[in-house]
Copies of this chain bind each other. A is one copy, B any other.
Amino acid sequence: MSASIALRGDHGAAKLWGAPVPPLTLIGPAGETTLPPPALHFTQDAEIYAEGDEAVYLYKVVSGMVRTCKFQTDGRRHVDAFHGQGDVFGFELGAEHALSAEAVTECAVIPYRRRVLESKAAQDETVARQLYRYAMQSLERTRQHAQLLGRASAPQKLAVFLLDLAGPRGAAVDLAMTRHDIADYLGLTIETVSRTLSHLERDGVLHLITARQIEIRDRAALRTLCG
């Protein structure tokens, strides 16, 4: 029997924004299936780990949303990524976290000791593949993010962002994050984010139900914007 056990909280397909991928699992301790999930809970804006902390764990999001970000010397913040249900975050090259991780919303995450995962990966090839695949997901998303930051106007950035959040079908988008989070993720200011959303509403592309709830009225127009 394989040591592979479907990770709790891995409901449905893991989602790489803009590119659905097959569901993945991560390994829990063998025989752990009968124990309650060892998930950690965090309140909104709580720090999960800080830049410079020793990188002991990888984390899998069970519920809620997490942001990984970096604070620059000039006081500004760069949001590296948002992580939702099923996403794994905490990958690092070095022994310390180069980013910090914070709860965007109240959330639950399962911590996996890197050392444990690595030794399991050494014993079980399927675990190694899963771990590698999660790392590649992180890489692929960061690449797409870099592309977006480098070569897109404010409307383009928001179009890509909203379509990613909405998924391939959804017409209503619930934003878990503030304008500030969005701005720091897209390399814009909160004013430009707000202005651009208002502009898209005037054009009939969106409807801003509340600040955090957006209805996509014209998905084709958004797609066209993405280029």
Residues of A within 8 A of B (CB): 16, 19, 21, 70, 72-74, 76, 78, 80, 91-94, 98-99, 118, 121-122, 125, 128-129, 131-133, 135-140, 142-143, 145-147, 149-151, 186-187, 227
Q: Is the pair B187, A136 in contact by a Cβ cutoff of 8 Å?
A: no
Question: Mostly helix, strand, loop or mixed at chain A's interface?
Answer: helix
A-B pairs with the 10 shortest C-beta distances?
Answer: A150-B187, A146-B146, A149-B149, A93-B136, A93-B140, A122-B125, A149-B150, A142-B142, A139-B139, A78-B147
A-B contact pairs, 30 of them (CB 8 A): A19-B94, A21-B94, A72-B227, A73-B227, A80-B146, A92-B136, A92-B140, A93-B133, A93-B139, A93-B140, A98-B143, A99-B143, A118-B129, A128-B128, A132-B135, A135-B135, A135-B136, A135-B139, A138-B139, A139-B139, A142-B142, A142-B146, A145-B146, A146-B146, A146-B149, A149-B149, A149-B150, A149-B187, A150-B186, A151-B187
Number of copies: 2
Specify which chain B residues have a CB less than 8 angstroms from the CB of A147 in the assembled complex: 70, 78, 80
Q: Separation in Å of the A71 CB from the closest CB of chain B?
A: 11
Q: Is the pair A16, B149 in contact by a Cβ cutoff of 8 Å?
A: no
Specify which chain B residues have a CB less than 8 angstroms from the CB of A131 in the assembled complex: 132
Q: A21-B93, A72-B227 are in contact. Are A128 and B121 (CB under 8 A)?
A: yes
- The chain B residue with its CB closest to the CB of A136 is B93
Q: Is the pair A139, B142 in contact by a Cβ cutoff of 8 Å?
A: yes
Specify which chain B residues have a CB less than 8 angstroms from the CB of A149 in the assembled complex: 146, 149-150, 187
| Complex-state Cα separation, A72 to B115, whole angstroms | 40
Specify which chain B residues have a CB less than 8 angstroms from the CB of A186 in the assembled complex: 150
Of B92, B138, B151, which one neighbours A78 at CB under 8 angstroms?
A: B151
Q: Separation in Å of the A213 CB from the closest CB of chain B?
A: 26
- The chain B residue with its CB closest to the CB of A129 is B118
**Residue of A121, A122, A143 most packed against chain B (CB within 10 A):** A143
Specify which chain B residues have a CB less than 8 angstroms from the CB of A135 in the assembled complex: 132, 135-136, 139
